[in-house]
Structure 1
């Protein structure tokens, strides 16, 4: 099959986003035997613009995508936060490729006010949208012509190459990395409260208290230099929602602390993740693993193996393909495969 994956490859940041989900899915589809063209709508718009401004080059970026599809004739277009590409462009492509399927992938939480309009915008032209939140909340985006399903954040052995469980010499006991505390100050408060409750731990906390966010190889250096990771999302009460931090932490072999309310206890066992319920339990669990490092290594090793086995880039890409074309066998996947609408 021939596939065009349209998304933000963020070339302006050079190699700093080498672990982005869009790149993992390109790998997954390619490794599953498909021919894949990567089309970075924002980078194309920026490069075409005479001023280097993405918005100024948007019209030409849309025209170029039409040309790419006319020459390549894809069977599937995957739209991943491709905000520069208009619905009319996709309708035009469908006009000369009537058998084309269009899938959208949305990695943002559905509780962000700005995200539902993005999902609904593409619902007018996409056959299906995949979202990193599961459960009945997805039904609100389904229509008679548009389906919705969950996907987990994929890991990729060619990207998440670390095995932190195999080491005991790291400088940080616990890593947490957020963009900033501005939008969700409670996360920074949770991190500070944990430091106060368990002062004996060595913390690698980024995005708070003057320690800026961390990206690229420096981010993976911080992971390599850590024993455990706190997967602190903007909300832990939305079923199976997580940022891609979960894939980066588990995929690189950290012992990952995960809030029980997230629902991940339905997929991973107690000896694969460090589940906790609330701040006090988190502090208690951290103290326990600080005192039992061999157990930290064992749990992290199992979590790493499980995540790579059931949430890898090939399986997630295959599910996107199969759900888009309506041929999913739920027994092949460890996550909820319900498809809403259609």
Structure 2
């Protein structure tokens, strides 16, 4: 199938890339056997704009998208967080190419009002809308054109290549006991929990928090190396309690074999097997669990290995991409996707 994939493809990062679910989707579509063309709206806008001022390139970017669709003639267009592309442009694509299917993807949380508004707007023009929150939370967006689907955070076997679960705690390569990387403090109070943990964990417990408290944020290969040398990871979302919602860090940590602590309120136990993720309910249980697994390395390795194996087998980006194609086109599912209930 010919697929046009519209998202931020990070051309101007020049190798200093952020781990991106959009890039994982792109490579997954190719691995699934599709003919895929990337259209990076932010980069096109920068290239096309006078003096390289991206906001001045919006109109030209929309025109270039119409030109690209006319030339490539995609059977399916998958678009992600491409805020520079107007709904009117998608409507014009539908008018000119009525047999082209439009599928939107959104990997951001519903508790951010601007993001919820973006999803609602895209549901007016898309045939299918994929959101990284569970189906119970998506009822608010029904009644428009788009059929709503959940999408998980996938691993990519070419990106998540490390396996901390295979390394013993006395190995010098594992120089972080617990890792939490974050740079956002909007719509959240998780910084308070991190501060409490720092004060209550033993002084010799190596709890590293890049991006917080004035520490530099890790990107690119620096982030890859940090994941590869950490025993355990903390999956703190900006807000908890949304079914199946997590930041993309859950796949990054799981795919690299870290033991993951995540809040029970997201109900991941509805489709992720036992003895994989470690669930906590509050600060007290999190402190207890981190120390328990810190002092039981065999148990840590066993759970982390099972989690890594599950994500690589059942939530890899090839299956993820094929699922989006099949759901968008109404094709019978070729796999028993674990997140389908």
TM-score category of the 2 structures, normalised to the smaller one: over 0.9
Residue in structure 1 matched with residue 237 of structure 2 by the alignment: 233
Deviation at 1:39, TM superposition (A): 0.5
The 3 A distance-change label for structure 1 pair 212 and 280 is same
- TM-score, structure 1 length as denominator? 0.94
Q: CA RMSD in A?
A: 1.5
- Does 1:152 pair with 2:152? yes
Say which is worse superposed, 260-269 or 238-247, in terms of deviation. 260-269
Asked whether the equivalents of residues 204 and 222 of structure 1 are also in contact (C-alpha less than 8 Å), the reply is: no
Q: Is the 8 A contact 2:124 2:144 kept in 1?
A: no
User: Following TM superposition, by how much is the alpha carbon of 1:258 offset from its aligned partner in structure 2, in angstroms?
Assistant: 1.3
The residue number in structure 2 matching 1:198 is 201
Residues 185 and 243 from structure 1, CA distance in 2 versus in 1: closer, same or farther, beyond 3 angstroms? Answer: closer
Match of 1:115 in 2: 115
> Which sections of structure 2, spanning at least 5 residues, go unmatched?
none
Which secondary structure state, in structure 2, belongs to the residue aligned with residue 258 of structure 1? strand
User: For residue 282 of structure 1, what is the aligned residue in structure 2?
Assistant: 286
CA drift of 1:213 comes to: 2.2
Aligned residues: 336
Q: Which residue matches 2:324?
A: 320
CA drift at 1:215? 1.4
Q: CA deviation at 1:185?
A: 5.3
More off after superposition, 313-322 vs 243-252:
313-322
Other-structure match for 1:296: 300
Which residue in the other structure is 1:207 paired with? 211
Which one is further off, 92-101 or 287-296?
Answer: 92-101
Structure 1 unaligned residues grouped into runs of 5+: 338-342
Deviation of 1:193 (Å): 1.0
Give how far 1:265 is off. 1.6
Out of 216-225 and 298-307, give the one that drifted further.
Answer: 216-225
Distance (Å, rounded) in 2 between the aligned partners of 1:261 and 1:124: 30
Could you say which residue in structure 2 is the equivalent of 1:91? 91
Shift of 1:330: 9.4
The separation in 2 between residues aligned to 1:192 and 1:184, in whole angstroms, is 17
Q: 2: distance between equivalents of 1:176 and 1:184?
A: 18
For residue 51 of structure 1, give the secondary structure of its aligned residue in structure 2. helix
Q: Say if 2:192 is the partner of 1:189.
A: yes
Scaled by the length of structure 2, what TM-score is found?
0.94
